[in-house]
Chains A and B, each alone.
Chain A
Amino acid sequence: MKKSHGSLLLVTTLTASMVTACANPSSAPSDQSGNSSAPAGPAKITIMANLHTAEVPSDTIEKMVEEKTNTELTIQWVPDGSYEEKLNAAFATGSLPQATYLKNQTSLLMFRDAIRGGQFWEIGPLLKDYPNLKNLDPNVLNNTSVDGKIYSLYQERPLSRQGVIYRKDWADALGLPEPKTTEDLYQMMKAFKEKDPDKNGKNDTMGLTDRNDLVYGAFKTVASYYGTPNGWGEKDGKLAPEFMFPQYLETMKYFQRLHKEGLINQDFPVTSKTDQQNLFITGKAGMYIGSLSDSQSLYQKLITVNPNMKLDVANRITGPEGKAGIWAIPGYGSAVLFPKSAVKTEAELKQILSFYDKLMGAELGNLIYHGIEGKHFTLVEGKVSQVDDLKLTDREIKPYQALQVGGENTIKGFKESYFKIPVKDKAEKLVKDNNSILIHDPTAPLDSKTYTEKGARLQEGIKDATYKFILGAIDEAGFRSAVEKWQKEGGDKIIEEYNASYQQSKK
């Protein structure tokens, strides 16, 4: 570098060298020495995770974890509502932490491109070296994979929590048995609306309360009852999207009938989850189709409004085809990725993985999920019964549950939970029961370039058309033309790409 080139060049090269130094410090000698002399102090690990509670968590659990794993954790808590925004911003500015939690499948799909671009460490071949991490379910790992390679640890989720929650006291008052078929559901909703189930002499109740969500609301679950595939299904040996199946149309017709007859809240396409639950809690609606786990919070709120009410849950509802089924998620909640921009060397990666290995052990696994015995829970019949102090658990335990890797089925010695509320206990049993009637999404491990680019946008068109059909703004032909539009604007390409990927995976 010659001086005569002037200060501008000097500045540029200086900046450039600084940038490269940041991007690739493994070339800097100071960093390598850090690894060889690692045992000197606790390993430093930075984590970004989402926070589901309103308050900043206390660090009681964190301190214990740090002590037991000889690490120094820096956890950046990001409120759940703005997590994706923050994640994208951190990614765009290259400031991701060493362990990055992606909160669900959709986020992981968004990062596929970056993963393929070599921005994250591949961890698949390393997992076998860790006694606990190697217990992670290969099927679920496969669902998180990109081009057949594994880049992330995952947090286990029950494969399907979907089901029906309804007012047992209303059903009893009207002499209705537990619903077994979609027709039973319809009759129950109709009776809930028309036969004054709360016996107050006023026509002020409705059947079902739903919200602006075709997936986690009632629609997709009822679609399962009708035998609609989950996302994509096989038709004559080829994959096709769910909305091309006749069962999808039948489900739409079912909802159209509910809407027309006023059995469902008329504004459900713009109803928020809070408003949806409020309709149930205030005794205006008698049925809630969605996550069975919601039964606990619904019960607790309802009982304060109406101490005489009874709640029940049901599933294995059959449609006209007479087969029980329920759609399933790919078996993971959040996934943990390790960005190369933050984790500089393989030695560093291994250090972080061994931290997660310890976290997945029985002792720490139970600690971060259940807390401390005597303080946060007591043992009843060998099961964990959480103390009633919601504030305490919200502040000390709940946040750290977000850090968990693996879960009930993959952590050896993980303690089961005990539920005091009978309906919640039954709900959890139904969640387990769901495992035998699952409908999987065959595209979870598959890849389509067009889907990553345009899939979500195209799906909007289908979503709009579905709502329009239910609300009676378009007819069958109108829906078909929406599907044709989907095909024309890239859907055909998505079908083609998924099928190619499907054939390849079969080999």
Chain B
Amino acid sequence: MNQVAAKSNAIAKKRGNESGLFKRMLKNRAIYLMILPGLLFFLIFKYVPMWGLIIAFQDYKPYLGITGSPFVGFEHFERLFSDDMFFTILRNTLLLFGMNLLFYFPVPIILALMLNEVRHAMFKKWVQTLVYVPHFMSWVIIVSITFVMLSMDRGLINEILVMMGFEKINFLLSNEWFRPMYILQVIWREAGWGTIIYLAAMAAIDPGLYEAARMDGAGRFRQIWHITLPSVRSVIMTLLILKIGDVLELGFEHIYLLLNSMNREVAEIFDTYVYTAGLKQGQYSFSTAIGFFKSVVGLMLVMAANWLAKKAGEDGIY
């Protein structure tokens, strides 16, 4: 008897909530209407294409289409996981990502802190413009420039090394130099651009806080440590979580341009593997399976990072 009453009570409550939500939506229909284009965008361009993931489980033939191609279950995933290259690729991807986090990620923050301390407005604008510029160059240009500089045949760096009495170094065709070359290029291209969000966050800090700190006798470094950094902590966290979501997206173009027979063992990542093993030979299903795997891993990592952020007392991203 009691149970039934409780149940009906709960249902009534739920219904009340629903009608409440509906009423609220009706009342604020203008606002809800405004999110409609955004919702449609994601529905059409992000969710509908997911239908295509089906081909990861098929032996997809373009002329048969999704509806006509036969299903093969997890065959493509099995092939991926049993490939000799799989662990090499996974290791390379994770290592490069780790380097990204360790070496690249802090650079824009430090750069932004430094820029934030520049008081001369004109000079600050100049420096900012200068550090943004590399971002607008394509990887093709950046990689070509490094190739010209680092070439063994009359490359500038090697000429200097020889002049200083050292041996020539084969930067382009070696396993050891690939990772430093990669991360330096990433930093050179993206660090300046990455400061934008941090600078915006720093601009929003209440100047009163600094004044109060100065009254208490805090120096420049104390101010940075106790005011600027804590104020942008949530921004740093958010960007970190977003970055982790891209763990397996290291930029196909960049690595593909740097990749060659001599550094494949350290340079092959999922994106380049998809290209060489899959798309170049029209193996759409296999490529899709790898893409699918990548997305799932990315999603899991974002959820984990978000959970950790919340544990650490931050807002997270959702």
Whether A267 contacts B151 in the complex (CB less than 8 A), given A457-B277, A467-B261, comes out as yes
Interface string of B261-292 (1 = CB under 8 A from A): 11010000000000011001111100000000
Whether A267 contacts B281 in the complex (CB less than 8 A), given A91-B62, A464-B264, comes out as no
A347 near B: Cβ within 8 Å? Answer: no
B305 near A: Cβ within 8 Å? Answer: no
A27 near B: Cβ within 8 Å? Answer: no
How many angstroms from the CA of A212 to the CA of B172 in the assembled complex?
A: 13
Residues of B within 8 A of A270 (CB): 147, 172-173, 260
A137 near B: Cβ within 8 Å? Answer: no
**CB-based contact A88/B282 at 8 Å:** yes
Task: Please tell me which one of the listed residues A110, A267, A467 contacts residue B282 in the complex, with CB atoms under 8 A apart.
Answer: A110
How many angstroms from the CA of A327 to the CA of B170 in the assembled complex?
A: 32
B206 near A: Cβ within 8 Å? Answer: no
Cβ distance B271 to chain A, nearest Cβ, rounded Å = 16
B84 near A: Cβ within 8 Å? Answer: yes
Whether A456 contacts B281 in the complex (CB less than 8 A), given A269-B173, A489-B84, comes out as yes
How many angstroms from the CA of A17 to the CA of B63 in the assembled complex?
A: 18
**CB-based contact A113/B152 at 8 Å:** no
Residues of A within 8 A of B154 (CB): 284
Task: Please tell me which one of the listed residues A341, A456, A473 contacts residue B262 in the complex, with CB atoms under 8 A apart.
Answer: A473
Residue in A206, A270, A279 whose Cβ sees the most chain B Cβ within 10 Å: A270
**CB-based contact A265/B153 at 8 Å:** yes
**CB-based contact B173/A460 at 8 Å:** no
Cβ distance A282 to chain B, nearest Cβ, rounded Å = 10
B135 near A: Cβ within 8 Å? Answer: no
A303 near B: Cβ within 8 Å? Answer: no
B179 near A: Cβ within 8 Å? Answer: no
B91 near A: Cβ within 8 Å? Answer: no
Residues of B within 8 A of A195 (CB): none
**CB-based contact A117/B63 at 8 Å:** yes
**CB-based contact A92/B62 at 8 Å:** yes
A253 near B: Cβ within 8 Å? Answer: no
A134 near B: Cβ within 8 Å? Answer: no
Interface size on A, residues (CB 8 A): 32
A453-479 residues with Cβ-Cβ distance < 8 A to B are 453, 456-457, 460, 463-464, 466-468, 471, 473
Residues of B within 8 A of A117 (CB): 61, 63-64
Task: Please tell me which one of the listed residues B84, B168, B173, B276 contacts residue A471 in the complex, with CB atoms under 8 A apart.
Answer: B173
Residues of B within 8 A of A110 (CB): 281-282
Cβ distance B168 to chain A, nearest Cβ, rounded Å = 8
B145-191 residues with Cβ-Cβ distance < 8 A to A are 147, 151-154, 168, 170, 172-173
How many angstroms from the CA of A119 to the CA of B65 in the assembled complex?
A: 13
Interface string of B60-80 (1 = CB under 8 A from A): 011110000000000000000
**CB-based contact A267/B152 at 8 Å:** yes
Interface size on B, residues (CB 8 A): 25
How many angstroms from the CA of A456 to the CA of B281 in the assembled complex?
A: 8
How many angstroms from the CA of A468 to the CA of B147 in the assembled complex?
A: 20
**CB-based contact B84/A485 at 8 Å:** yes
Cβ distance B172 to chain A, nearest Cβ, rounded Å = 5
Residues of A within 8 A of B151 (CB): 267
Residues of B within 8 A of A10 (CB): none
Interface string of B13-37 (1 = CB under 8 A from A): 0000000000000000000000000
**CB-based contact A269/B260 at 8 Å:** yes
Residues of B within 8 A of A457 (CB): 276-277, 281
**CB-based contact B61/A266 at 8 Å:** no
Cβ distance A334 to chain B, nearest Cβ, rounded Å = 18
Residues of B within 8 A of A119 (CB): 63
Residues of B within 8 A of A279 (CB): 153
A259-280 residues with Cβ-Cβ distance < 8 A to B are 265-267, 269-270, 279
How many angstroms from the CA of A206 to the CA of B153 in the assembled complex?
A: 10
**CB-based contact A468/B281 at 8 Å:** no
Whether A471 contacts B262 in the complex (CB less than 8 A), given A266-B152, A267-B152, comes out as yes
How many angstroms from the CA of A466 to the CA of B261 in the assembled complex?
A: 9
Residues of B within 8 A of A94 (CB): 63
A114 near B: Cβ within 8 Å? Answer: yes
How many angstroms from the CA of A241 to the CA of B311 in the assembled complex?
A: 59
Residue in A94, A267, A464 whose Cβ sees the most chain B Cβ within 10 Å: A267
Interface string of A429-442 (1 = CB under 8 A from B): 00000000000000
Interface string of A339-381 (1 = CB under 8 A from B): 0010000000000000000000000000000000000000000
Nearest chain A residue, comparing its CB with the CB of B65: A94
**CB-based contact B61/A113 at 8 Å:** yes
Residues of A within 8 A of B282 (CB): 88, 110
Interface string of A226-266 (1 = CB under 8 A from B): 00000000000000000000000000000000000000011
Nearest chain B residue, comparing its CB with the CB of A110: B282
Residues of A within 8 A of B63 (CB): 91, 94, 114, 117, 119, 341
Residues of B within 8 A of A464 (CB): 261-262, 264
Residues of A within 8 A of B283 (CB): 453
Residues of A within 8 A of B170 (CB): 266-267
**CB-based contact B261/A463 at 8 Å:** yes
B177-221 residues with Cβ-Cβ distance < 8 A to A are none
How many angstroms from the CA of A283 to the CA of B172 in the assembled complex?
A: 24
Task: Please tell me which one of the listed residues B84, B173, B261, B280 contacts residue A267 in the complex, with CB atoms under 8 A apart.
Answer: B173
How many angstroms from the CA of A367 to the CA of B276 in the assembled complex?
A: 40
Give residues in A with beta carbon < 8 Å to B. Answer: 88, 91-92, 94, 110, 113-114, 117, 119, 206, 212, 265-267, 269-270, 279, 284, 341, 453, 456-457, 460, 463-464, 466-468, 471, 473, 485, 489
24 intermolecular pairs with C-beta atoms under 8 Å apart: A91-B62, A91-B63, A92-B62, A92-B284, A110-B282, A113-B61, A117-B64, A212-B260, A265-B152, A266-B152, A267-B151, A267-B152, A267-B172, A267-B173, A269-B261, A269-B262, A270-B172, A284-B153, A284-B154, A457-B277, A464-B264, A467-B260, A468-B262, A473-B262
The list of the 8 closest CB pairs from A to B, nearest first, reads A266-B152, A467-B261, A92-B62, A464-B261, A265-B153, A267-B152, A457-B277, A119-B63
Give residues in B with beta carbon < 8 Å to A. Answer: 61-64, 84, 147, 151-154, 168, 170, 172-173, 260-262, 264, 276-277, 280-284
A266-B153, A467-B262 known, 7 other contacts, Cβ within 8 Å: A91-B63, A206-B153, A267-B152, A284-B153, A456-B281, A464-B264, A466-B261
